[in-house]
Amino acid sequence: MRRPWMCLLMLAIATPPAAAQPASQGVPSFDRHFLPKTMRVDYFHTGDIDEEILSLDRVVSDGPWAGSLSRLVDETNLGKYLFEVIDPETNRVIYSRGFASIYGEWETTGEARAVHRTFHESLRFPWPRSTVQVVLKKRDETNAFREIWSVSVDPGSRFVNAADPPPRSNVWAVFESGPPTEKVDLVLVSEGYTVGEMEKFHADARRLVEALFEVEPFRSRRSDFNVWAVDVPSHATGVNRPHVGAFRRTPVSAEYNIFDSERYLLTFDNRALREALSGVPYEFLEILVNERQYGGGGIFNLQATTAVDTEFSEYIFIHEFGHHFAGLADEYYLSPVSYETPEEQVEPWELNVTALRDPGRVKWAHLVEPGTPIPTPWGKDAYEEHARSIRARRQALIDSGAPEAEFDALFEEQKRIETELLAAMRYSGRVGAFEGAMYEAQGLYRPATDCIMFTRDDVGFCPVCRWALERVIDLYAA
């Protein structure tokens, strides 16, 4: 059984806060509780399969506040974790956000059964006018949030670094729609681009952003976004690819082979990433990696990555942003992954996957057309026969060290076949509950036969994923 530890941290011994305020007490006022700058609480997240320890690193100013001035409390119920900022005088939650983490993914891998590991993480929220209690919660085996860590933070303490980050000359707008506090702010970071390749980064950023805003709901909601970019030059082209012996040291340490998966691309160096972005207006971030090898990654409210020179870079950018922006789950289920699935499947918190405990109360019922059977039949056997063939051919390419062009050709073939196969099914284009999702062939269901979270087909997000994405847009855009 996991044993969360309460830690003695910085300014005070953490004490459990009272329950969150009822709605009748009103909405927290930004001006009453906060100043228009950003506080960043950095901490270490350590553990293994049996225990979980959190300890403070530092508290710093992260520049002007760019988030919403009105939607301070997160009611989306998304994320494996949730942090709350509490006013100790009233015991009211005055700010909160759900998120996921690399630690949260790592603890589901086999490695967590054998060793301890430590990951660096950050919580960002408006700068409080007075002492606050910061409480971190995690979902338990029933999916309920339980407190695992708490720290009292006095913004006037000498242990809190209130110095603002220096002005930046390496930030530019891909496009700007209005004040950051009234928009969703996305920032793109260059990784593996030399000084002489910054024009390429600018072109890659514009190309991928335009691809994202050609897809609904982003196309219709474009005016709710600002998109920024940060030029962070590397001394050499490319990033670390340890599985092929191509080693690199880069500014934010993005690398392939995360959890020993050759295509999984993230950075473990959270502190370097946050410092590279300190002072930049953002809620969401994507690292553009100057590599040809297919790869990417996305973790809800943490980071997303894209390899920009693969033939499927636009798909990767959009797919991984779906993970990062709205916590959308992978809907595919036959690709190899490093995660170990639980013996008993609880209802996922992700909005686009369900365990379907009660077919009469599916979480996206409002989008299901009358007459659609739940669960919904589809050509599962035919799809799996095709997918296993593609998987075997892909593994053969990996084993032989084939060039990226051969992977791209295989993926193009897969895309063509799956587009035709899935579009011809009886309930194609309708919302239902189709078995096979989130790495499980049985017991988990996705809302459509096809979606960008399921295949590389040019179908965009299904109606349920669009609904989930719009809920997050509404949380940040005035």
pLDDT exceeds cutoff 90 at 4: no
pLDDT mean across residues, the chain: 93
Residues in the chain: 478
Domain boundary among 133, 161, 189: 161
Query: How is residue 260 annotated by DSSP?
Result: G
Domain boundary among 327, 351, 368: 327
Half-sphere exposure of residue 171, counting CA atoms within 13 Å on the CB side?
16
Do 84 and 210 fall within a single domain? no
pLDDT classification of 25: cutoffs 50, 70, 90: low
pLDDT exceeds cutoff 90 at 192: yes
pLDDT classification of 5: cutoffs 50, 70, 90: very low
Do 181 and 299 fall within a single domain? yes
- The residue-averaged pLDDT of 461-478 equals 97
- The residue-averaged pLDDT of 65-76 equals 97
- DSSP per-residue string spanning 164-225: PPPP-SSEEEEE--S-GGGSEEEEEEEES--GGGHHHHHHHHHHHHHHHTTSTTTTTTGGGE
Which residue's structure tokens are 């691309």? 265
**Residue 270 belongs to a domain with what CATH number?**
3.40.390.10
Asked if residue 333 belongs to a domain, the reply is: no
Residues 189 and 230 sit within 8 Å (Cβ to Cβ): yes
Do 257 and 294 fall within a single domain? yes
Do 136 and 182 fall within a single domain? no
- The residue-averaged pLDDT of 415-440 equals 96
pLDDT classification of 195: cutoffs 50, 70, 90: very high
Per the structure, the complete domain to which residue 141 belongs is given by 3-161
415: Cβ contacts below 8 Å, ≥ 6 apart: 455, 456, 457, 458
Do 121 and 183 fall within a single domain? no
- pLDDT value of residue 449: 97
pLDDT digits (tens, 9 = 90+) for 87-98: 999 999 999 999
Do 177 and 112 fall within a single domain? no
Q: What whole-number percentage of the chain has pLDDT above 70? A: 93
Residue 150 backbone dihedrals phi, psi, to 5 degrees: -155, 140
Asked if residue 60 belongs to a domain, the reply is: yes
Asked if residue 352 belongs to a domain, the reply is: no
Tokens, residue 288: 């553009």
Asked if residue 339 belongs to a domain, the reply is: no
**Residue 93 belongs to a domain with what CATH number?**
2.60.40.3250
Asked if residue 343 belongs to a domain, the reply is: no
Do 206 and 295 fall within a single domain? yes
Q: Number of folded domains in the chain?
A: 3
pLDDT digits (tens, 9 = 90+) for 211-229: 999 999 999 999 999 999 9
- pLDDT value of residue 336: 67
pLDDT exceeds cutoff 90 at 478: no
- The residue-averaged pLDDT of 350-359 equals 96
Rounded CA separation 90/120 (Å): 31
Asked if residue 392 belongs to a domain, the reply is: yes
pLDDT digits (tens, 9 = 90+) for 130-167: 999 999 999 998 899 999 999 999 999 999 999 999 98
Do 97 and 222 fall within a single domain? no
Asked if residue 266 belongs to a domain, the reply is: yes
- pLDDT value of residue 346: 87
Domain boundary among 304, 327, 350: 327
Do 254 and 130 fall within a single domain? no
pLDDT exceeds cutoff 80 at 402: yes
Asked if residue 335 belongs to a domain, the reply is: no
Do 133 and 274 fall within a single domain? no
pLDDT exceeds cutoff 90 at 8: no
Do 155 and 7 fall within a single domain? yes
Do 319 and 223 fall within a single domain? yes
Rounded CA separation 86/33 (Å): 10
pLDDT digits (tens, 9 = 90+) for 226-270: 999 999 999 999 999 999 999 999 999 999 999 999 899 999 999
pLDDT exceeds cutoff 80 at 12: no
pLDDT classification of 315: cutoffs 50, 70, 90: very high
- pLDDT value of residue 170: 96
